Amino acid sequence: MFHWLEKNPFFFAVAVFVVIAFAGLVEILPNFAQASRPIVGAKPYSTLELTGRLVYIKNSCNACHSQLIRPFKSETDRYGHYSTSGEYAYDRPFLWGSKRTGPDLMRVGNYRTTDWHENHMRNPAEVVPGSIMPAYTWMFTNVADVDTAYAEQLTIQKLFGVPYNAELPMADGSKATVALADTLDGARASALEEAKLIAADMKDQGVKDAVAAGQVPEIVALIAYLNRLK
């Protein structure tokens, strides 16, 4: 066999590739699969949070904001614990971002709250002097796309086995469950329930009225998502 391979450079090259590829699979893949498992405390996104994530992506927030804290003291002092791969297990796609025009948002839920986001999204420079972030005023009136978020939830549950309606271990030893409704109407209702909690902490009367009327403005969904980033 080897003598035959020696005389056939093409098949020799193929054999070399197969051997190295096999070694790579055996060495790299198990480790990779292990590291990308959800860490204890990771939860899939609820309907409203996922709606907010879609708003985040739609407005290209990830073009200016990263979601990846590197293990340097200067970063962990400012943003919190460095990121680990298991934290992105339910991010499809992950939103690491490649450039920080604005600050990292990986754990923004730890140090900003609903009312701050409300003030900031309406006029960033008013809260952060010198900020070059544009105002996102339309988010206060645009209605968020809850239906697409629900479709995505169903898809990832069926396709990737994302554990909705299942007990998940939390870091403090308790269990948490992220509910996924059986029907579209159920999903809309649960998103609205979450939205009411956010809107209660907001000042904008238009947003409060919209939520009371059964709509979910984009800003509410986005804040739900940002508060969830921890």
* 129: preceding bond cis by omega (within 30 degrees): no
Which residue in the set 51, 62, 67, 114 belongs to the binding site for other proteins (CB under 8 A)? 114
Cα-Cα end-to-end distance for the chain: 57
* Residue 71 binds other proteins (CB under 8 A): yes
Q: Is 100 in the site for other proteins (CB under 8 A)?
A: no
DSSP state, residue 183 = S
Q: Binding marks (x or -) toward other proteins, 80..99, rule CB under 8 A?
A: x-x-----------------
Count of all residues that appear for the chain in the document? 230
Place of tokens 């490649």: 98
Is residue 114 within 8 Å of residue 107, measured between CB atoms? no
Is residue 201 involved in binding other proteins (CB under 8 A)? yes
Residue 200 C-beta: closest distance to other proteins, Å = 11
Tell me, residue by residue from 11 to 50, as one string, x for binding to other proteins by CB under 8 A and - for no binding.
Answer: ----------------------------------------
7 binds other proteins (CB under 8 A): no
Look at residue 228 and give its three-state secondary structure: helix
Close Cβ partners of 33 (under 8 Å, ≥ 6 residues apart): none
Q: How many residues belong to the site for other proteins (CB under 8 A)?
A: 20
DSSP structure class, residue 34: H
- Positions in the binding site for other proteins (CB under 8 A): 71-73, 76, 78, 80, 82, 110-116, 119, 126-129, 201
